[in-house]
């Protein structure tokens, strides 16, 4: 973590949309907590400049799909601010391998890549949001009580209130709880079991990716090229 978090480096449309959240006391407390962790030489993921990577890659008014994760990856070099994604050269995580299995079955011509870098999705309007934007090294869920959920719940609510026709992919019980923040009269919610191997093969067969593209086409929007 570095002190860049104290002067939120975030894409302009999000900065405007979330202006009220950045001014709230809880957000100041998040910043202070992260600064204190840095002073204690704690290793925090992702690096400071990448905490808002999802926002900086997918502007507010370009969001077509939201894929909600819970925690950033907590191993060295894995987290880079996009849910389920890892940088080039990092081993593909188990949950993402199951996502790829579904894509092979669901999207014609999809070939399983040898990487887990999902930035091309984010560039097309797939907002890869984690509910918690930071985590301590090797301590899953370690930042779930520092205030991030207040912030990301507000993000989901803002998208729901001010945009139209977004497709929210909610995978697993944690993500499904966020449905109450979404106006289902204005948006589409696709629910499935989490892709984690701990859930067996229950994620497979949900057809979320082809369904999302059909919904986008019906709105006159460009579908996502899921191929990596």
Q: Where are the alpha helices (DSSP H) in the chain?
A: 12-17, 19-22, 25-39, 53-57, 94-106, 119-123, 148-162, 173-176, 208-218
pLDDT digits (tens, 9 = 90+) for 156-214: 999 999 999 999 999 999 999 999 999 999 999 999 999 999 988 999 999 999 999 99
Residue 204 burial (C-beta neighbours within 10 Å; 0-12, 13-18, 19+): middle
pLDDT of residue 200: 85
Catalytic residue (one of 2, 71, 185, 225): 71
- Who has greater pLDDT, 200 or 106? 106
| % the chain with pLDDT above 70 | 96
Angstrom distance (rounded) from CA 75 to CA 40:
19
Contact 133, 81 (CB under 8 A): yes
Prediction pTM value: 0.94
Inter-axis angle of helices 25-39 and 148-162, nearest 10 = 140
Residue 122 pLDDT > 70: yes
pLDDT digits (tens, 9 = 90+) for 41-95: 999 999 999 999 999 999 999 999 999 999 999 999 999 999 999 999 999 999 9
Is 71 a catalytic site residue?
yes
């Amino acid at each position: 973590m570095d002190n860049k978090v104290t002067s939120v480096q975030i894409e302009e449309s999000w900065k405007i949309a979330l202006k009220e959240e950045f001014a709230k006391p809880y957000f100041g407390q998040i910043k202070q907590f992260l600064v204190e962790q840095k002073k204690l030489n704690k290793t925090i993921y992702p690096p400071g400049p990448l905490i808002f990577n999802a926002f900086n890659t997918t502007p507010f008014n370009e969001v077509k799909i939201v894929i909600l994760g819970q925690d950033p990856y907590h191993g060295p070099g894995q987290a880079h601010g996009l849910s389920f994604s890892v940088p080039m050269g990092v081993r593909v995580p188990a949950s993402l391998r199951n996502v790829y299995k579904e894509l092979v079955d669901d999207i014609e011509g999809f070939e399983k890549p040898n990487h887990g870098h999902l930035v091309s999705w984010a560039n097309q309007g797939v907002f890869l949001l984690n509910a918690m934007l930071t985590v301590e090294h090797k301590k899953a869920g370690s930042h779930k009580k520092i205030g991030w959920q207040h912030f990301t719940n507000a993000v989901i609510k803002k998208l729901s209130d001010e945009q139209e026709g977004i497709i929210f992919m909610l995978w697993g019980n944690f993500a499904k709880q966020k449905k109450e923040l979404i106006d289902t009269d204005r948006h589409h919610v696709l629910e499935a079991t989490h892709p984690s191997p701990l859930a067996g093969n229950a994620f497979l067969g949900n057809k979320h990716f082809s369904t999302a593209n059909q919904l986008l086409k019906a709105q006159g929007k460009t579908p996502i090229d899921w191929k990596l």
